[in-house]
Structure 1
Amino acid sequence: MELKEFLAPASEVARRTGPQDRIVFSSRVRLARNLRGFAFPGWAKKPDRLQVYERVAAAVTGLPALQGCFCEALDRLSTLDKQLLVERHLISREHAAKSAGSGVVLNREETFCLMINEEDHLRMQSLRPGLQLREAWAELDALDTELESRLEYAFSPQWGYLTACPTNVGTGIRFSAMLHLPGLVLSEQINGVIQSVNKLGLAVRGLYGEGTEALGNVFQVSNQMTLGESEQTILEKIDKVLRQIIELEENARATLIEKNPKMVYNHIGRAYGILANAHIIASKEAMNMLSLMRLGVDLGMFPGVDRSLTDELFLLIQPAHLQLLHQEKLQAEERDILRADLIRNRLKTVSRPGPPLPAAGSGG
């Protein structure tokens, strides 16, 4: 089966809900593992990478939790397929650049995605909508335990699981959440929050991870330490920080509505005006405007409009999804025109925003 037939429609992805999903788009837990006796992917020769791929793919696809999964070598996927996976946050941009000997395994619900021969031989991920790190970790821990009975991992009694990058040695675990923080951005508190989070040993990155910018006021928060602390300790620490950030964002929204409602109304009204009337719009501008409109939906400024509308558009306006929609390769200029057409069409039945409702600034 082709990847585009296997992936859930963007409308279905946008309707997935979870705790605190006003602010938390998704939770992710990732484990880095390597096979004993094989060079790490960055050092391995092609025959070794192919052997690791075959061994890992066979073990992974035999797991009950991954029955009926999509499993394919990256060199058999098109550039569009790989970009679709990146835009869905299922694989990294670095993995998308890999070829022979690398692969991807994905379950139907898109709650498990495994990258074979990325930076490590195996990077398995559990994903959930909203703030569900505990649930994601429980599922991934069970998967890892079962897989460890089928594969011999590279493990040191002194250092723990061995990884290509020293920052992943130990547990090999990375907890992360993708947060929508327009209130902290508009109130100019975001830099202070990022600095405070960094001091706690956590990393704050942009929409597509390390080295990317925070398009659409979306930030990824994750742990940096994997050595010397248990998975449970790391989980408790990041969960506490994430809940504090959520509270700060809710308070920032409430304060903005109370003290400067016209500024909020102006930002969201202008965003709606651009989205509903533009005939050419780049993805970066569209993401930033949709972020503000999503805030408006949360604040009750678009009565009857569900948040899934903006979340679906977040996906559909990205380059690979736009090309998939039109079944053809598009130049940047063509995408900018078609993106604007798509947004205008989807907003035809959405009335312009009304004043923000004070009561909408609280809740989860």
Structure 2
Amino acid sequence: MINLHILGGFQEYGRNCFLIEHEETDTRIMLDCGVQNGQPEVYPPLTPEIAQSLDAVFLSHVHNDHIGALPLLADMGYEGAVWLSQASFAQLDPIQQHWKQKNSAPYQITAADKLRFTPFSPESKGQSIVLSEHLSFEWGHSGHMLGSVWYIFRIGEESLFYSGDMVLDSITFQTEPPAQSAFQLAIIDSGHGGQVTSRTTSEQTLLKALNDSEVSYQIPVSLSGKACDLILTIYKQLPGRRLFLDQAVRNHLADCLSYAANLNIGMKERLENLLRDERVTILTTDHASEAGIYFTANKICGTKFIPVDSAAHPELFYKAHPDQKDVEKLLQSIQAERLVFFHSKPQDFSKLIAYMPKELTLNGGVYK
């Protein structure tokens, strides 16, 4: 039987970390290894016993709430492979530099430097990657950001589905359904499961909020699928406006072109056109007083802030995880003896469970 130990991510928005044990084959793997963002960051309850017993670690994508605890795992003695997509692997350099900066002794070689990142190639999508007699996996695109994937694991005679963070209707990135539909265990993202959010309505409301071409607006973005969607949508729908992109955001859009297999049909051409357009400018301090739409996580004085991430402004909220309807759609194609919904805050989790069909019964946080 597959045993699941939730080290983070259940009824909390972040710190995603799941330990999988299969006693019959003596197999132990970890799915993501993240922290709860904040000051200070909150880490999962890792121990040397856990770290040194793992056969492998699998990353769904490179956001901090899915990978930020990897240095701690390494410090505790993990020396095995850390599997991830090639597009995720390509984004690691600034993340590893950030880990070094957090170290009390800059430039010191730490255990995190010894992490054995092992990317799988884009050509392996949908294929079974065999790691041992008892363990194999396959993957597909999950639509959340550049490089994000879901996994199917086969351990002994049993199987497990892990969605990672998932977006079913991303404008920018592909999301493929898994070919297999029946599992012993499925761990499914329900980050926005407490609400029903129409992407079309969100876009229309956002465009109305940006109605004055003489005003400077700021949309807070990080490196994510949401940022790509928002930039591409506004670029297309507001053709007369200037767009100012944070350097890191602009670089991220260029990185997307290097991994075009992640993109939806037509998005490569749209990104190429955007990056060539003179009205799309890399943001500098000289631009702070110019009318336009600014995409950056850093606050810019004199701009009108558009809170696309704030629950206090639901009319502007732009989803980056499955909502109630998305979870319902996922469950039409994924059947499992046990279901676990993760990435939901307690109030959203409660709303999701109240919405779910009555045949799902709660058993210690696991649904079956």
Common fold, TM-score beyond 0.5?
Answer: no
Report the TM-score when normalising by structure 2: 0.27
Q: Which has the higher strand share?
A: 2
Would you tell me which structure has more helix in proportion to its own residues?
A: 1
